[in-house]
Amino acid sequence: METLRERKKQRTREALLRTALEMFTAQGYDDTTVDDIARAVDVSQRTFFRYFAGKEEAALALQDMTVARLLEAVRERPAHEAPMDALRQAVLEGWDTLNEVIEAVAPVEVFLRMYQVIESTPVLLAAHLRRSVEIEEALARILADREGVDLAADPRPRLTVAVFGGVMRLTERRWSGGRDHSLDALRTLAVSHLEGIGPALSESWRTH
Amino acid sequence: METLRERKKQRTREALLRTALEMFTAQGYDDTTVDDIARAVDVSQRTFFRYFAGKEEAALALQDMTVARLLEAVRERPAHEAPMDALRQAVLEGWDTLNEVIEAVAPVEVFLRMYQVIESTPVLLAAHLRRSVEIEEALARILADREGVDLAADPRPRLTVAVFGGVMRLTERRWSGGRDHSLDALRTLAVSHLEGIGPALSESWRTH
DNA sequence: AGGCTAGTGACAGTCACTGACAATTGACAA
DNA sequence: TTGTCAATTGTCAGTGACTGTCACTAGCCT
């Protein structure tokens, strides 16, 4: 059983996060000050920064929660799958179980809306991209492990992940720039992009 | 002939930029305040912000100067080249003529050292990555134009650029994390990575 | 019950950045 | 050359993210 103190902390953190996400999606990231959030939760601004390293961290918290799951999913993919297939399947799997991961904090709808906010807020997009670099490094390690190659000597794990990551970021961008902001549209677009890598890399497009 | 006023402005801007780059590479980005830079150039802090939208813009100015050249180079690549080849050749070409572009402001050495600073400074790396998104969008437009396809309907231009961009960012990262920080090492690594895309995407690595 | 300590609020300070206004200085015509 | 206009700059005040410090409160544990 958790102690009262721990439960209180948990509640404060969740209140801050929920309020922050609500305000970010409602009035935009830049137009929401940390003071606003703290005031709405009725804690001091200083307390906000005791729970989150910065405003960005709160904004990206939901996306962050899905990362651990993704890495796990890749690790658990059957060994016979080609690396790129394992990555694809793991991502799709992650989206299927999205709700289980974030439901304690926010509904899937908020997760998806935060993606729009991220893509349309330069400073948030920048932070998001920087984080994906770290995720890609972790993925490369997992792939190297899975395939039994030496990450220091063999560039293929990082290369595969770089290609995959580039395509996934394109997917995020086009999805959030499009009209259909459903999870299903995201899935469809991702699969279509991943299948399109081969054709796109072929010699010329004009000979159709 | 330029007017005196314009020459003065030019001189102020270059002094600010040169000083900023010098301080960034010498003592790090975070440890250099805008006040430091302004004081060193003997202008007010306000003036710094009249020449640069922010501290980041000064830090990324050199890298920015090479972008226009890169886009031009892609446009001028022979039409028979495959899209990915055109991108590769344009980048290599850009590095060959690097000095011509930036010599008015700083030597190539500073350009290369700023890359280390960017890669090792989270907030700068984030800004750099965000900018590459915009560059990729421009590249996709150029490719679509070159190949005569409709960017809105055909995902191949963006897909190609996404893959290319992912691999180039991997190149930057590994280069700056390595030992040899020469332009030649960067070239070699880029070529090796671009050639490795195919093999990395193959079914399995274990069958060698 | 009372000491210990984690968690918090209040306060002061730094740094990036912005708006407003006054002072300066180059440009240009009379 | 001189006076006017406009561009450039400095000063000042303010906002917002973030950090260090310190005293205080409240849960914890004996």
Q: pLDDT of B150-189, one tens digit each?
A: 999 999 999 999 999 999 999 999 999 999 999 999 999 9
Judge if the beta carbon of A50 is closer than 7 A to nucleic acid strand C: yes
Is B128 within the bounds of a domain? yes
For nucleotide D9, the protein residue with its alpha carbon nearest to C1' is B47
What single-letter amino acid sits at A200? A
Neighbours of A79 (CB within 10 A): 10
* Total domains in the fold of chain A: 2
pLDDT at B203: 79
**Are the Cβ atoms of B193 and A155 closer than 8 angstroms?**
yes
Using CB atoms, pick whichever of A126, A163, A205 lies closest to residue B130.
A126
**Pair A158, A182 in one domain:** yes
**Pair A103, A9 in one domain:** no
Per DSSP, the three-state class of B125 is helix
pLDDT at B202: 87
What single-letter amino acid sits at B62? L
Whether the predicted pLDDT of B208 surpasses 60: no
Task: Decide if B88 touches A, using CB distance below 8 A.
Answer: no
**Which bases of strand C have any atom within 7 Å of the beta carbon of a protein residue?**
6-11, 14-20, 26-28
Nearest chain A residue to B165, by CA:
A166
Using CB atoms, pick whichever of A148, A201, A206 lies closest to residue B163.
A201
Q: What would the pLDDT profile of A73-111 be if each residue is shown by its tens digit?
A: 999 999 999 999 999 999 999 999 999 999 999 999 999
Q: Residue B3 — left, alpha, or beta (φ > 0 → left; ψ -120 to 50 → alpha)? A: beta
Is B92 within the bounds of a domain? yes
Taken in order A80, A200, B126, A107, the sign of the CA dihedral is: negative
Q: Å between B52 CA and C28 C1'?
A: 29
Task: Decide if B150 touches A, using CB distance below 8 A.
Answer: no
CB < 8 Å to B120, chain A: none
**Pair A33, A69 in one domain:** no
**Pair B184, B100 in one domain:** yes
Judge if the beta carbon of A40 is closer than 7 A to nucleic acid strand C: no
Nearest chain A residue to B144, by CA:
A205
**Pair A25, A92 in one domain:** no
Judge if the beta carbon of B46 is closer than 7 A to nucleic acid strand C: yes
**Pair A36, A128 in one domain:** no
Give the pLDDT band (50/70/90) at residue B207: low
**Pair B138, B89 in one domain:** yes
Q: Å between B50 CA and D2 C1'?
A: 32
Is A132 within the bounds of a domain? yes
CB < 8 Å to B176, chain A: none
Element holding A63 (H helix, E strand): helix A61-75
CB < 8 Å to A129, chain B: 126, 129-130, 133
Q: What is the mean pLDDT of chain B?
A: 96
Per DSSP, the three-state class of B105 is coil
**Pair B19, B66 in one domain:** no
Range 165-194 of A in CB contact (< 8 A) with B: 165-167, 169-170, 173-174, 192-193
Range 66-85 of B in CB contact (< 8 A) with A: 80, 82-84
pLDDT at B205: 86
Contacts of A70 (CB under 8 A, 6+ apart): A90, A91, A94, A135
Is B13 within the bounds of a domain? yes
**Pair A9, A70 in one domain:** no
Is A29 within the bounds of a domain? yes
Is B120 within the bounds of a domain? yes
Task: Decide if B124 touches A, using CB distance below 8 A.
Answer: no
Q: What would the pLDDT profile of A45-71 be if each residue is shown by its tens digit?
A: 999 999 999 999 999 999 999 999 999
Name the domain boundary from B53, B77, B94: B53
With a pLDDT cut of 70, the percent of chain B lying above it is 99
Name the domain boundary from B36, B53, B70: B53
**Pair A23, A97 in one domain:** no
Q: What would the pLDDT profile of A157-188 be if each residue is shown by its tens digit?
A: 999 999 999 999 999 999 999 999 999 999 99
Judge if the beta carbon of A12 is closer than 7 A to nucleic acid strand C: yes
**Pair B46, B82 in one domain:** no
Range of the domain at B160: 60-200
Contacts of B98 (CB under 8 A, 6+ apart): B66, B108, B111, B183
Q: What is the CATH number of the domain that holds B102?
A: 1.10.357.10
Query: Helix, strand, coil shares of chain B as percentages rounded to 5?
Result: 75, 0, 25
Average pLDDT over residues A11-34: 98
**Pair A71, A11 in one domain:** no
